[in-house]
A and B are shown apart, each in its own frame.
Chain A
């Protein structure tokens, strides 16, 4: 039992959890893991280019180190010229080893953590007994960046952290709860920081003024709609040919732009480029989304105009992720030019929502909202079957859910949450 206990801690998962062979990184020697941790089945082709890029990046790390040490003095907002220096450097790309630290600085995580001690723990504990989104989260953790070394192992330590962050957040911001699309964002954060920090970063991204992703994930997706329709107008005005083409071929923005706006281009551009975009996004916020979307069309306009509807969609959804067709630096330069153009034309951002409260949180963060009896029954009917009983009382329901979560015991009911993430190893004993 003791040995088992140690093993749980070491592996991060319950040793009894059944996983497929491919889910265990120790099982197979893969050809290559790239510098960001993604596992490739074939050899990396651009190794030489990468070496050059890395050398350049290393040159810059010293500068970043200095800047980081003097952060508060340099960038407290009273020194616009120094703010410009930071901006210029972020646009050039944050060196990978500094990425996590700088992202946290840009989102003021240290301060938040200090003023919100124990909140994460509390939310997590609450989530494990009452989050209505647990099942969906467990399902999505199972398919989030499984080609990344950190998330490859089923029920491994980082999967566990991802599960925790999303579960805790679903309790903290109950209006959003958990929405698909958030798991990749949380996973990206977890590649660069620990779980509590990732939780606060996620929280900042959703509810600070600069990013305000809340409206992108709440039911009805009002901010997504607002950005999509604005983008159509921008295209209509500045790229009438493309607009006509899309109209004639019946291609609305919802066919290509959902992940652009919801996740700032995650999985829609090659990962190294996506990181560059995220660096800029962390600093600039929502104002780069429309310009970047515009940049994609500007760069590939000629090619796109020759395509048929399905090629067009396939290109934007799948091909661009494999190869953007332009060096990362060149894309960023182009983006910068587009930002200036669109800013001059005052279309960089869509007009604000007609109801100013529509896209922002209305309830207090972390407040307890017990589901009504009716909601519980509905939830149970849609998600959970406990011995095929038609109804379960609320206490019974919560007890069963909690017991199953803490013990990882799936025997209680078929279909009931069985996460085996070994969340509280001491309880296993």
Chain B
């Protein structure tokens, strides 16, 4: 974890990764948070949390990245984590037609459980495996366009376009945050979005409420 406790932070954003089993959600996060690729990946049981603090346009942003289990049964456990997310990244595997055709279901799931201003992103992973590619960039792009969300392609293995994807997503979250808060907060509050770690942001990230709701 790179951020020290006294570090100045402008934003804390919650990002959730969803998508079929084995598309590389954990690998992407491991690559991005620890710059590490593990060939011998593990399956995620429940949820896993990774953190990275980055600078985007002179702002310090702490990303809380939530990795979720892909198996259908775990949706009842993990669905709660989508709530309060500033961004949800729907990941599929470009070598798996199957994972691509499930994108719509994940999209609906995400829409239902997220807020109006939650940023949704589509991400095709494993772009390094050109030989076994099953989903063309064009097809993915046109799906994303029809859902009106951004599309990225990455390779966690080769560290290709991973950082760029998260940076671009962060920028979108910052825009959404400003737009949303300008619309809902009085003027004098819009400038006080800067905060310190000692006063963590109280977003709608209400972990308490999902905890109760699953009991």
Partner-B contacts on A (CB < 8 A): 20, 22-23, 136, 139-140, 142-144, 146-147, 152, 179-181, 183, 219-221, 225, 228-229, 247, 250-255, 258-259, 262-263, 267, 308-311, 313-314, 317, 382-385, 414-415
Contacts and interface: CB of A to CB of B under 8 A. Distances in A.
B107 interface: no
A56 B16 CA distance: 47
Interface stretch (B41-49, B110-118, B173-181, B182-190): B41-49
B45 A262 contact: yes
Contacts of A139: 21-22
A415 B98 contact: yes
Nearest to B50: A314
A252 B98 contact: no
B208 to A, nearest CB: 6
Contact of B210 (A219, A252, A263): A252
B43 A414 contact: no
Contact of B43 (A180, A219, A384, A415): A180
Contacts of B76: 219-221
The 6 A-B pairs with the shortest beta carbon distances in the complex, nearest first, are: A146-B40, A252-B211, A250-B207, A258-B46, A415-B98, A180-B71
A415 B97 contact: yes
A313 B72 CA distance: 24
Contacts of A221: 73, 76-77
A220 B210 CA distance: 15
A247 B208 contact: yes
A73 B200 CA distance: 62
A152 B39 CA distance: 11
Contacts of A146: 39-41
B214 A144 contact: no
A221 B215 CA distance: 10
Contact of B40 (A143, A181, A263, A313): A143
Contacts of A317: 48-49
A181 B43 CA distance: 8
Nearest to A147: B40
A21 B64 CA distance: 34
B1 A311 contact: yes
Contacts of A252: 207-208, 210-211
B77 to A, nearest CB: 7
A411 B105 CA distance: 27
Interface string B43-75: 101111101000000000000100001011110
B101 interface: yes
A138 to B, nearest CB: 10
Contacts of A308: 5, 197, 200
B71 A382 contact: no
B170 to A, nearest CB: 17
A309 B51 CA distance: 11
B147 interface: no
Contacts of A143: 22, 40-43
A221 B79 CA distance: 14
A183 B43 contact: yes
A314 B80 CA distance: 19
A52 B100 CA distance: 53
A282 B95 CA distance: 42
B205 interface: yes
A144 B22 CA distance: 12
Contact of A144 (B43, B47, B49): B43
Contact of B206 (A144, A250, A259, A383): A250
A57 to B, nearest CB: 28
A255 B47 contact: yes
Nearest to A413: B97
Nearest to B206: A250
Contacts of A23: 39
Given A310-B64, A385-B101, A258 B71 contact: no
B206 A385 contact: no
Given A140-B21, A250-B205, A250-B206, A181 B45 contact: yes
B145 interface: no
